[in-house]
Amino acid sequence: MELLDIIKLPDPVLRKKSAAVEQVDDDLRRLLDAMLETMYEAPGIGLAAIQVGVPKRIITIDTTRDEGPRKPLYLINPEILTLSDDRSTYEEGCLSIPDYFAEIERPASARVRYVDYDGKQQELQADELLATVIQHEIDHLNGVLFVDYLSKLKRDLVIRKFTKAARLDEREKRKHVAL
Ligand code: NI
C-alpha cells in the first residue's frame, strides 16, 4: 500500500473547501484505503482527504488506537444533523500541524449523516472523543483548522512558527538541488 503525503500548515490547500462526492466507486475506495493506512502510519486517529491534497468530502477515523482490534470508520459527505448543548474539552492535535496541541472545547455529542464505504446512507450518534474527531475532520472539509478556535495571538504564533519552518525546509531542499 502506497502511503500518501500529508500536507502541512501553512499550505493554502488546507484552506480549500472540499466538494461532495458524487459516486462511491473503486477509485474512491482505493483513496479511502490509502488514507486509512496513511493515518495509521502517521499515527493519527482522523484524516480528511484535503490533508493529502484531494478536495473531496471524505474522512477516515479510528479512535481505538492501540486498544484492541482496529475499527475504521469511513465518512463520505458527512453532515452534522444535531450538536449537543453540553460541551467537552480535548487536547487536540492535527497531522497537518505536527507536534502542536491545544485544548479545544466543542459540543460533546453529534448526530451525523454520511455515506459509508459501500455507498449506503448511514446515521451515527457520536459522543466524547469520536464527536470531537468528527467535528475536527468536518472542519477540514470546510477549510477550518483547530487553531482557528484559539485566540488570534496564539493562532498567529503557531502559523508564524510553521511558516518559518516551511521556509527553512524550502531552503534546505534548494541546497540539496544545488549540490
Ligand atoms: Ni486535523
CA 135 to ligand 1 center in whole angstroms:
10
CA–centroid distance, residue 94 to ligand 1 (Å): 4
- Mean of per-residue pLDDT scores for the chain: 95
Give pLDDT tens digits for 133-166.
Answer: 999 999 999 999 999 999 999 999 999 999 999 9
Mean pLDDT of 64-82: 92
Q: Which of 90, 102, 108 is CA-nearest to residue 150?
A: 102
CA-to-CA distance for 62 and 168, rounded, in angstroms? 33
53 CA to centre of ligand 1 in angstroms:
13
Architecture of domain 12-150 in this structure: Alpha-Beta Complex (3.90)
Residue 68 binned pLDDT confidence (cut-offs 50, 70, 90):
confident
- pLDDT in the model for residue 111: 98
pLDDT score at 179? 61
Listed by start position, the domains of the chain span 12-150
Give the confidence band of 115 by pLDDT, cuts at 50, 70, 90: very high
* CA atoms of 62 and 45, how far apart (whole Å): 5
pLDDT, position 7: 97
HEC assignment per residue over 96-156: CEEEEEEEEEEECEEEEEEECCCCCEEEEEEEHHHHHHHHHHHHHHCCCCHHHHCCHHHHH
* Higher-confidence position of 69 and 78: 78
pLDDT at 129 over 70: yes
- Residues with a catalytic annotation lie at 137
Question: What pLDDT shows up at residue 178?
Answer: 63
Ligand 1 centroid to Cα of residue 77, in Å, is 17
Q: How far apart are CA 47 and CA 138, in angstroms?
A: 10
- Cβ-contact 103, 90 below 8 angstroms: yes
